[in-house]
Amino acid sequence: MNIILRFVAVASAAVLLLGCASVRAAREAQDPAFIPPGERTVTSAEAGLSKDSVLTLPRAVEIALAYHSSIIQSRQGLLSADKQFADARSSYMPNSDAGVSYRKSDSESGGNGNSYSASLSLSQWIYDFGKTPAAVRQSYENKLAAEANLQSVSNNICYNVRQAYYNLIKQQSLVKVAEETVNQFVIHLEQTKGLAEVGKRIKYDITKSEVDLGNARISLINAVNDLRIARAVLDNAMGLADAPEYKVEEPAGETMEYKFEELYQTALRNQPELAALSARERAASAAVDQAVADLFPSLSMSGSYGLSGSAFPLSWSWSLGAALSQTIFDGFRNSNQIDKAVASLRSSRAARAGLEQQLYLDLSRAVTQLENASQKLDIAALVVQKGRENSVLIQEQYKIGKASSVELADAMVSLTNAQVQELQARFDYQTAIALIKKTIGRDAVK
Arithmetic mean of pLDDT over the chain:
87
Contact 299, 323 (CB under 8 A): yes
Rg (CA), the chain: 37
pLDDT cut 90: percent of the chain above it: 44
> Which pLDDT band holds residue 394 (cuts at 50, 70, 90)?
confident
What's residue 209's pLDDT?
Answer: 85
**How far apart are the C-alpha atoms of 75 and 147, rounded to whole Å?**
8
**How far apart are the C-alpha atoms of 146 and 85, rounded to whole Å?**
11
CA distances to 33, 36, 61, 78, 274 from 147, rounded to whole Å, are 29, 22, 20, 6, 12
Give the SS3 label for residue 161: helix
Instruction: Summarize pLDDT for 15-48 with one digit per residue, the tens.
Output: 556 567 778 888 888 888 888 888 888 888 888 8
Give the SS3 label for residue 176: helix
Q: Is the pLDDT at 110 greater than 80, yes or no?
A: no
**How far apart are the C-alpha atoms of 231 and 339, rounded to whole Å?**
51
**How far apart are the C-alpha atoms of 292 and 345, rounded to whole Å?**
14
Contact 145, 286 (CB under 8 A): no
Which residues are within 8 A (CB) of 399 and not within 5 positions of it... i.e. 6 or more apart?
191, 195
Contact 158, 125 (CB under 8 A): no
What is 250-298 written as a DSSP string?
Answer: PPPPP-----HHHHHHHHHHH-HHHHHHHHHHHHHHHHHHHHHHTTS-E
Other CB atoms within 10 Å distance of the CB of residue 419: 22
Q: Is the pLDDT at 242 greater than 60, yes or no?
A: yes
> DSSP character for 32?
G
Q: Is the pLDDT at 323 greater than 90, yes or no?
A: no
Give CA torsion, residues 32, 38, 42, 46, to 10 deg. 100
Other CB atoms within 10 Å distance of the CB of residue 247: 11
Q: Is the pLDDT at 443 greater than 80, yes or no?
A: no
Positive or negative, the Cα torsion across 394, 395, 398, 402?
negative
**How far apart are the C-alpha atoms of 180 and 252, rounded to whole Å?**
24
Contact 151, 277 (CB under 8 A): no
What's residue 7's pLDDT?
Answer: 54
**How far apart are the C-alpha atoms of 156 and 165, rounded to whole Å?**
14
What is 53-119 written as a DSSP string?
Answer: -EE-HHHHHHHHHHH-HHHHHHHHHHHHHHHHHHHHHGGGS-EEEEEEEEEEE--TTS--EEEEEEE
Question: Before 313, cis peptide (omega within 30)?
Answer: yes
Q: How many whole angstroms from its chain centre is CA 179?
A: 38
Q: Is the pLDDT at 445 greater than 50, yes or no?
A: no
Q: Is the pLDDT higher at 294 or at 150? A: 150
Map out the domains of the chain with their CATH numbers: 39-89+130-295+335-440 (1.20.1600.10)
Instruction: Tell me the mean pLDDT in the region 214-224.
Output: 94
What's residue 174's pLDDT?
Answer: 92
> 122: phi > 0 → left, psi -120 to 50 → alpha, else beta; which?
beta
Instruction: Tell me the mean pLDDT in the region 376-398.
Output: 86
What's residue 2's pLDDT?
Answer: 56
Which residues are within 8 A (CB) of 325 and not within 5 positions of it... i.e. 6 or more apart?
297, 298, 300
Instruction: Summarize pLDDT for 326-341 with one digit per residue, the tens.
Output: 878 777 888 899 999 9
Instruction: Tell me the mean pLDDT in the region 343-347.
Output: 96
Length of the chain as a residue count: 446
What's residue 400's pLDDT?
Answer: 77
What's residue 446's pLDDT?
Answer: 35
Q: Which amino acid is it at 38?
A: G
Q: What pTM value is reported for the model?
A: 0.82
